Amino acid sequence: MEEHRRRAELVGPLELLPAVDFCCVYGSSLLPNNSDKTSMVDYILGVADPIQWHSENLERNRHHYSKWMGRLGPTAINWVADRIGVGVHFNPFVEWKDKMIKYGVVQMHHLAMDVLTWDRFYLSGRLQKPVQVLIDNWDIQKVNLINLKAATSASLLLLPAKFSEEDLYAKICSLSYMGDLRMLFAEDKNKVKNIVRGSFTSFQSMYKASLQEFAAEGLLQIPYAGHEFEQDCGLSATRNHFFSLPWTIQKRLGMKHDDGSGITKTQTIITSRELAANCVTKALRRLVLISSARQAMSGLAATGGVAAARYLTRKISKAWKSRTS
């Protein structure tokens, strides 16, 4: 009964908006241990045609947008999201009854491609952590299984031979924060730990299939309760994990060569576990750094200085409390 009531409460704000093909809620508002009832509820909305969607939404909810973006119109809104940001336009501080919500709008094609290829490693990173999916007309949850397996492979490459279940989920959770500028000053220092501990059973449910698959291949030993995982750290296992990652990561180790036909091809060579782990770390840091910086600039351009300052002040205040408590 409580779960049904909570879902109905989360679906409520969608009544304000044009139809979407995908919707999920993410962030601290989902955590059972979240005591901040003033925190915004965060939504990701996937739509087939963002320009058409923003056009309709401007007619319904022009006050959701900054004044200058409202004047520029849907094409400009989409241009800022795609060319400056990473394809997502956010409208923060939207009031819904006694709640404050923030929603990000992304084209379904961009969402699916990021989940499959990590080309931006933005929404794919969010979907590696527990979310509550409310609408899924494109079966993104099924597509996301590829993303979850890749996240597991990347994390196993970065973990030692023995590790706890909490260590595993913390490493998975931290992938999308590697290189994120906000973690230096505008995020709770306990963010990863709070997410994992507050959503532990959800992580177990999400990653059960991937872990069982690796166990069946002999790459991982799943322990009994209270014991540690053990993984094969040999070169064969390392290559298996590395080549399970999207090409966006693999190409960082690519070496160009001529196959004899005059055509230059790229070949990836893994000679050690350390090499593979360093490659994954550097690739993810670069991806996250670029995406977080682009999205920050896009947010500033889209929401205007006042709204951006308001949002950043809230984030820094929360981060400061975590560092002084």
> How far apart (Å, rounded) are the C-alpha atoms in residues 137 and 184?
37
Q: Higher model confidence: residue 150 or residue 40?
A: 150
pLDDT at 130 over 50: yes
Residue pair 23/42 in contact (Cβ under 8 Å)? The answer is no
pLDDT tens per residue, range 67-97: 989 999 999 999 999 999 999 999 999 999 8
**CB within 8 Å of 251: residues ≥ 6 apart:** 266, 268
Give the tens place of pLDDT for each residue, 287-317: 999 999 999 899 888 876 555 555 555 544 5
Instruction: Render 81-96 in DSSP notation, one character per residue.
Output: IIIISSSEEEEEEEEE
The Cα 46–Cα 104 span in angstroms is 8
Q: Is the pLDDT of residue 19 over 90?
A: yes
Region of residue 226 (left: phi > 0; alpha: psi -120 to 50; beta: else): left
Residue-wise pLDDT tens digits, 29-42: 877 666 566 678 99
| Lowest pLDDT segment from 106-115, 128-137, 189-198, 281-290 | 189-198
Q: Is 165 helix (H, G, I), strand (E, B) or coil?
A: helix
pLDDT in tens, 246-266: 999 998 876 554 455 555 455
3-state secondary structure of 58: helix
pLDDT for 316 equals: 44
What's the pLDDT score for residue 306? 53
Predicted confidence (pLDDT) at residue 320 exceeds the cutoff of 50: no
The pLDDT, as a whole number, for residue 309 is: 53
CA distance 235 to 271: 7
| Cross-strand bridge partners of residue 1 | none
In angstroms, what CA-CA distances link 4 with 8, 10, 47, 78, 318?
A: 6, 10, 25, 34, 30
Nearest-angstrom CA–CA distance, 45 and 231: 37
What pLDDT does 22 receive? Answer: 98
Q: What confidence category does residue 319 fall into, taking pLDDT thresholds of 50, 70 and 90?
A: very low
Distance between CA 54 and CA 61 in Å, rounded? 10
DSSP 175: G
* Overall average pLDDT of the 219-244 stretch: 93
Q: How far is CA 215 from CA 166, 209, 221, 241, 276, in A?
A: 18, 10, 6, 13, 21
What share of the chain in percent tops pLDDT 70?
84
pLDDT over threshold 50, residue 51: yes
- Enter the tokens of residue 60: 């319904």
pLDDT given for residue 310 in this prediction: 56
Is the confidence at residue 153, as pLDDT, over 90?
yes
Per-residue pLDDT tens digits for 154-180: 999 999 999 999 999 999 999 999 988
* Residue-level pLDDT at 313: 54
Q: Is 29:48 a contact under the CB 8 Å cutoff?
A: no
Q: Can you give the pLDDT at residue 179? A: 84
Name which of 219, 250, 248 is nearest 152 in CA terms: 219
* Mean confidence (pLDDT) of the chain: 88
Mapping DSSP onto H, E and C, the string for 102-150 reads EEEEEEHHHHHHHHHHCCCCCHHHHCCCCCEEEEECCCHHHHHHHHHHH
Q: What gap in Å lies between CA 53 and CA 74, rounded to an integer?
A: 8
| Lowest-pLDDT range of 31-35, 60-64, 269-273 | 31-35
pLDDT of 229 over the 70 cut: yes
| 277 pLDDT above the threshold of 60 | yes
Which pair of tokens denotes residue 162?
Answer: 């023995």
